Every structure is written in structure tokens, then in C-alpha cells.
Amino acid sequence: MPTVGGADGCKRGWVLVTKYLESGVVSWQTCELTENLVYGPLAPDLLGLDIPIGLPDSGPRQCDVEARVFIGPRRSSVFPAPIRCVLCATTYREACELRYRAESKKMSQQAWHIIPKIRAVDSLLRRDPALQQKIREVHPEVCFRTLAGRHLMHAKKTTQGREERIQLLEPWFGDYLSSALAERRELGCALDDLLDAFVACWTAERIYSGRAKVRPPEPPRDSAGIRMEIVS
């Protein structure tokens, strides 16, 4: 039975939402290890993953530029992907030095905090290039903008923003969404992490059916041969 899934980073590692396409059954779990997203017993056949995947050697990625334009008022949620050389850094200071040598810019703390997850996904894709057919980069705010068919009114960290996103997801996930939200504390993830995983799963189904939009339409590849794209 084909499955699709969406995953977002959380304190315990990743929160993963999986949908069985033939039955419509939806399940959710947290995965401590990145490998479990693709090799675990409940790993989906196609995964929408909220993490920068293809990394530039310098400068911004075209997919990030296009995503910021698309989501308009929420554009600040799409921050530039880190450049590839900083994956070698072991400290924030070293990462800043490496980026400064390449671009005369320092690295943001926000980007540095997700480097371990970026590094783990990058390592998987470099060891097994075939995984590029299974793992596709998504951005939740781009996905929600696509789902809504309009700009969202509120930021996702606000009460109004969370309710707005829940209302968008309910027609697609129904009682599964409400059940997952009730179990959120046991999952050990933030509310917005769980909502982001659900909308990533919604996007993964669009990718599976060939209805998703790829930005840019013909994604360039980075120096490791990995696509630089955002799909919604």
C-alpha cells in the first residue's frame, strides 16, 4: 500500500505524519534519528521534508527567493539556506568564520541551530543518491499558502495563526488531526511543528499524484549533485 509522509524538526528529533493512500488512514510518530524517516518500519514511500536540502556554495538559492515572493507577508519565515562549507563546522564561531571567508557574511544563530539536521539529511542523500526520488524539500508556509489559495492572515506562532492553519488542514485530515493534536504533548513536539508535519504530508500527496508545483521549475543541482528546490 503506497504511503506518503511529512516531517518537521522538533526537540525529540522529527515529528512524522504518514498517510496510507488507499485506505486514507493517517498515523504520526516522533523519530529521534533522521535515518528512521527513510529506513524505519513506518517510513513513507515519499517524504516531504521541512529542511534545506540542496546547498549553494555561495549566495541565495533561487528556490528560496521564489518562495519568499510567493508567500508575501510571511516571507521572513523563509531564511536563506546555509552554504555547503559550513556543514564542516563544529562550533557556531567556526561556521561564521567559514561563511565570512566565502561571502563576507556571518551565519545566523537560527541557521546554525538546524545544521545538525541539515548535515544528517545531506549525508543520507550523498550516501544514497536514489533517495532524492523519495525525499523532497518542502517549506510549511509555502505549503499552507498553496493549500489556502491566498496569503495567510496571521503568523504561525500566534493563537490566530495556529487556528487559521488548523482550519485549513481539517477538511483533509478530519478526526486524525484532532487526535494527533490531543496527543501532542506525548509526542514531545510543539504545536506548530505538528501542524507543519501535517501540511508537509498534504504536499507529499500532491507530489505523489504529480500535482505539486516545483520552485524553480527546473531546479539546479548543488556541487554534491543534489537538487535545490522547494515543492508545494
Q: What pLDDT, in 10s, does the model give residues 58-70? A: 999 999 999 999 9
79 pLDDT above the threshold of 80: yes
Q: Report the percentage of the chain scoring pLDDT > 70.
A: 100
Domain residue ranges of the chain, discontinuous segments joined by +: 1-51+61-77+124-232
Can you tell me the distance from the alpha carbon of 24 to that of 8, in angstroms, rounded to the nearest whole number?
21
Residues whose CB falls within 8 Å of the CB of residue 159, separated by 6 or more in sequence, listed in order: none
Can you tell me the distance from the alpha carbon of 99 to that of 86, in angstroms, rounded to the nearest whole number?
7
> 10 Å Cβ neighbour count for 149?
7
CA angle 128–208–84, rounded 5-degree value: 40
Q: What is the pLDDT of residues 146-182, one digit of tens each?
A: 999 999 988 888 999 899 999 999 999 999 999 999 9
CATH topology of domain 1-51+61-77+124-232: Nucleotidyltransferase; domain 5 (3.30.420)
Cell digits for 159? 493563537
For β-strands 3-10 and 13-20, DSSP reports them as antiparallel
Residue with cell 540542496: 54
